Amino acid sequence: MRRPAPRPRTLRARLVAALIALLALICAGIGVVTCEAIRHFLVDRLDRQLSAAGGRYAASLDDPGHDICAQSPGTFGARLVDGGVTRAAVVGGVPPGGDDPVPFAADRADAAVPLDAADLADLRDLPADGRPRDLTLSALGRYRVAAVPGDDRDTLVTGLPLHPVDETVQRLLLIELVVFTAALTAAATGGTLAVRLALRPLDRVVATAERVSALPLANGAVDLGERVPDDDPRTEVGRVGTALNRMLGHVADALTRRQNVEERLRAFAADASHELRNPVATVRGHAELALRHPGPVPEPVRHSLERISAESRRMGTIVEDLLLLARLDAGRPLAVRDTDLTRIALDCTADARAAAPGHRWLLELPAEPVTVPGDPHRLAQVVTNLLANARTHTPDGTTVTLRLDPAGRLTVTDDGPGIPADLAPHVFDRFTRGDRARSRRTGSTGLGLAIVRAVVQAHHGTVTLASTPGRTTVTVTLGEH
């Protein structure tokens, strides 16, 4: 199957193509009109010559002493009597082959023209009204002929060759083809330069939009000082530039307000977490102290104290996680040094195996230790949170595999029930929980994976998740510092 020709995609290419197509149509129209005009002019001149000649040449064919000097070379004459041709001749001789006639010799006498049956039929069918008509003769080619009645109840046919007309029109057509081709080439070159200059302001608009699109608008304060230099409201591109500059101003204001709100929220979270640490620790300490009272404690009171102690521990974990996230959001520097990821993987897997012996824990490590620049405490927290997430949200008997490759990429894979499709895009958001009842029972705060993403991003890395029923994989790739 033949593929269609590719269409120009850029605006510049489409404009140039449209310009060339329009010029080509105009040139084709001019060529057709001029060729038809010159053909009509030449044929009309032949018609006037035929009208002036009348049937004199044809009438003189039976006179052996007639003078042919007054007749132009190539003049054809025929005399018909009772539907038969008594004689047919041409001034200057018969050229060799009527399909490709050659110039007639002006110094040659007239010569008889051989006529076939088709020629005889065409001559008999000519009305003797003196009107010129086109006729093709087998020995001479195309002719312009006119038939008039003679004095002896005969019909006199006179004709002039159309070959000079066709040759002139063909030569004009060739000249026009050469001239129009050169004109279209020059127009394509000049049009390309003109369109490029005309669209230069649009290129600046595109360049500004591309620079803005490359800015990290989702993170932190952004200096949105980019503006389109072309903002003349009298031009189309200027109006586009004005609208884009106005939109960029609105976006800059919105980003500034958003950044101020986020900074206030971070400050509030950090301040609140910091202020809650001591009261939570005090509540927990008093609950534990009350549980150690040597005297008898009523069972309802003991149960309440145990719940107070457990919830205070859970609240303390939430406070510490919020405080950590607030510090990471504020861009606090990490304690970066060479960190042995292999040792972290071994220790975290051992802790997970002790915390959940009902799961099957597998560890795949390269032959050589993997060392990366990073904060060892925070990276250990990443691995711990990933394993805890797999343990919390999968039933006993689930196989959890921690894999570390020599490049430092770390993956945690489990064969549990998977994460619902509507929840998967939000698992790294804060306070996101799958099974809320199970999360409360196991003490999940919904901050574990949020901390994983924050720590990994602080290490200039990425964390991704892929989940289907029976297989969930979290991949952590650390960046370079």
- Amino acid identity of residue 109, one-letter, is A
Q: What is the pLDDT of residue 439?
A: 47
Q: Please state the φ and ψ torsions of residue 347, each to the nearest 5 degrees.
A: -65, -45
Q: Is the pTM of this model over 0.75?
A: no
Q: What is the pLDDT of residue 423?
A: 86
Residue closest to 137 by CA, chosen among 107, 112, 156, 155: 112
For the domain spanning 337-477, the CATH number is: 3.30.565.10
CATH topology of domain 216-332: Helix Hairpins (1.10.287)
- Asked if 235 and 199 touch (Cβ cutoff 8 Å), the reply is no
Q: What is the pLDDT of residue 434?
A: 59
Rounded Cα distance, 170 and 48, in Å: 22
**Number of C-beta neighbours around residue 465 at 10 A:** 15
Q: What is the pLDDT of residue 173?
A: 92
Rounded Cα distance, 91 and 77, in Å: 9
Q: What is the pLDDT of residue 268?
A: 64
**Number of C-beta neighbours around residue 375 at 10 A:** 18
Q: What is the pLDDT of residue 255?
A: 77
- Asked if 463 and 455 touch (Cβ cutoff 8 Å), the reply is no
Rounded Cα distance, 292 and 194, in Å: 91
Write out residues in the chain with pLDDT < 70, as ranges: 1-9, 62-70, 93-109, 218-222, 230-231, 261-262, 265-277, 321, 329-331, 433-445, 480-481
Rounded Cα distance, 252 and 217, in Å: 10
Rounded Cα distance, 163 and 141, in Å: 8
Q: What is the pLDDT of residue 174?
A: 93
For the chain, give every domain's residue range: 8-53+164-198, 54-63+70-161, 216-332, 337-477
3-state class of 246 per DSSP? helix
- 390-405, pLDDT tens digit by residue? 898 899 999 999 999 9
